[in-house]
Structure formats: structure tokens, C-alpha cells
Amino acid sequence: MSYLEKYYINAENELEERRMRNRLLQEERISEAEKAIPQLHELRKQLMASGTKLASILVSGGNMKKNLEQISSENISIQKSIKELLVQNGFKDNYLDPVYSCEKCLDTGIYNNARCSCFMNDVKKFECMDLNSSSAMDLCSFDTFDLGFYSSETDSKGVSPRDKMKRVYFYCAEYARDFHLPQNGILMIGGTGLGKTHLSLAIGKDVIEKGYSVIYGSAPDLFGRIEREHFKNTESSDTLSLLKECDLLIIDDLGTELDSKFNYSTLYNIINTRMNMGKPLVINTNYKLSELQERYSSRITSRLSTMKILLFSGEDIRLIKKDMK
């Protein structure tokens, strides 16, 4: 999969910032430990002095093997004394070791002569941020979802739209709170203005804060972008691959995309690939399940039916808010 150069640059900057934070953390730990254990400072000076000795030996020649063995033995002894002092004073024996965010590449960004997965995850993260830049994800949260807009009048079964939406709300909040991979997806069904987009974005916001990669977009926008890349080759990015690989994909307004074989094939490709990988989708639509079955092939709808289906109830909140002004 190809990415724009700017995402690699952003990832390099992120990697350097991590290295800097980890160096500062190590320095803070050294300062803390030496303050608690004064002997550590002298032992660490002795350890660093061995580097000077080694350089001197390499320049002067002499009995190289014997001298190297002696310095190695001294180093091991000093390191052992440092670890013993740390443990005796309530620290872990590796407390002064270099700090790395990625134990595979040791924060170099390279592993097995290729870009490390930690680096590529950052590249993907920055492209996801670009794709999400036009969404209202920062404005939509579970705290700002107001159940007061749903009627408390009960039907013949004694259930009100507010009761139904409480269950929907708490399911979504729990889903976001306990998000993990692999995970099942959610299909939100209901009319316009019932809060599907709000709860979709609230899930996305919480999942991003847990460190997962999330992409949100409307069906027309996402499929339109994929079609441009496929047929016109005007962009070097690969949105389709990104939609298949991100941890959580949120598709808004399914059914409003252009009615075409290409879009239906793309939709099936995305859903099928993600389900096989155990990576969930949150899809919302104004269509009823029976209407989805008329619009899409059974290959698509059978997979959608395996998702948790949430039915939204009530009146158009946008109109309610408009009448309140």
C-alpha cells in the first residue's frame, strides 16, 4: 500500500518526539535513583570511564584480547553492583536502562531491514486523521447525547422511544468502553435525525482515545474517493486498503452512494475483508433491513445481518431543535 510523502514525514517527526520523551524519562529516572542512592553516581562514572579505556586500547594496540576481557569483567561487576543497589532500594533492576516505546525496533523505526510496524502504524494514523478531518468527531461524545429529545410516551407494549434509545445509547457506550480486536460490528438503522451519526462519532472518538485507528466517512465520500483513485490515478494514496486495514471503520449514510456495480463490489470487498480479519464496522443507514436486502446482493446483506442491529426511534431531532429556536 502506498502513502503520501507527508504522512511519512509526520511519522518521522512523531518517532523523533518519542525518542526525545524517552531520553528525558531515562534522565529523570537516573536523577531520581542517584538522589536516593548516592553511590550510583560514582558507579555510573566508572562504567562510562570503561569506554575511554576501550578507545585507548584500540589506539595503542598491545594485548587486545586480555585487556578487552578485563574491561568486560569490570563492566559486568559494576553493572551487577548497580542492579543490586537498585533492587535493595525498591527500584526495578532495569530502572536505569534506555526507555523504548517499541521493543522490536528500539525506536529506530527499522526492523529486519524494513519499516517497523510501529512506524507504519503512525503513517496510517496520520492518513486516518486526514480522512477524518472533515468529520465532527471532536464535537460528538456520549456526554453530549441528549435522551431528552426522545418522547417518553409509551406504545401499546408500554415502551417509549426514550426507553428504546436508552438501550441503544448504553449499548454504544459499552461497546466503545470495551472496544477490542477482534470485535463484532454494529448496524444502526433508523430515519433521519435520530442520532445515528452522533453515536457513531462518539464511538469513534472513544476508540481513538484508546489508541486504535479509526476512519469515519459518508458512503458517497468514501466510495467516490476510492473510485477516483481506481480509475483516474490522481492520488498516490490507497484509500481502499486503508479502509480495510484500520481498526474501526465507520460508514455513514449507507445507501446514499451512487448505485453502481463498482460501489457494490467495493462495499462487499470492504465488509468481507474486515470480517475475515475480525475488524469491525459501524454502519448507519436510513434504510430498513428489508430495503437494504432489495438494494444490495445477498452476499452483502447476509454479512450485514451478522452485525449487532440497533433500531433508532423517535422524531427528527434536527426539526425539534429548529422549532425550539
CB atoms inside a 10 Å sphere around CB 155: 11
Instruction: State how far Cα 24 lies from the chain centre.
Output: 25
Taking the CA atoms of residue 194, residue 199, residue 201 and residue 205 in that order, the dihedral angle to the nearest 10 degrees is: 160
pLDDT digits (tens, 9 = 90+) for 109-125: 999 999 999 998 888 88
The CATH number that domain 134-324 falls under is 3.40.50.300
Written as nine digits, the cell of 28 is 529523570
Over range 71-81, report the average pLDDT. 85
Helices (H), the chain: 5-36, 39-60, 64-88, 117-132, 161-177, 196-209, 219-231, 239-245, 261-277, 289-295, 298-304, 317-324
pLDDT digits (tens, 9 = 90+) for 277-291: 999 999 999 999 999
Q: Are 249 and 243 in contact (CB under 8 A)?
A: yes
**Residue 315: φ, ψ to 5°:** -110, 160
Comparison of pLDDT for 228 and 196, the residue scoring more: 196
pLDDT of residue 134: 64
Over range 127-154, report the average pLDDT. 81
Taking the CA atoms of residue 15, residue 19, residue 22 and residue 23 in that order, the dihedral angle to the nearest 10 degrees is: -170
Calpha distance 287→284 (Å, rounded):
9
Written as nine digits, the cell of 129 is 486523521
Over range 65-74, report the average pLDDT. 76
CB atoms inside a 10 Å sphere around CB 280: 25
Over range 139-167, report the average pLDDT. 91
Helices (H), 133-260: 161-177, 196-209, 219-231, 239-245
Comparison of pLDDT for 48 and 25, the residue scoring more: 25
Q: Are 284 and 317 in contact (CB under 8 A)?
A: no
Over range 70-81, report the average pLDDT. 85
Q: Are 292 and 301 in contact (CB under 8 A)?
A: yes
Q: Are 100 and 26 in contact (CB under 8 A)?
A: no
SS3 46: helix
pLDDT of residue 55: 65
pLDDT of residue 195: 94
Q: Are 24 and 121 in contact (CB under 8 A)?
A: no
Calpha distance 37→86 (Å, rounded):
8
Residue type, 270: I
pLDDT of residue 6: 79
Calpha distance 127→114 (Å, rounded):
20
**Binning pLDDT at 50, 70 and 90, where does residue 231 land?**
confident
Over range 296-309, report the average pLDDT. 95
pLDDT digits (tens, 9 = 90+) for 6-25: 788 989 999 999 999 999 99
Annotated domain spans of the chain: 5-115, 134-324
**Residue 249: φ, ψ to 5°:** -115, 125
Over range 187-204, report the average pLDDT. 94
* Region of poorest pLDDT, from 57-61, 190-194, 226-230: 57-61
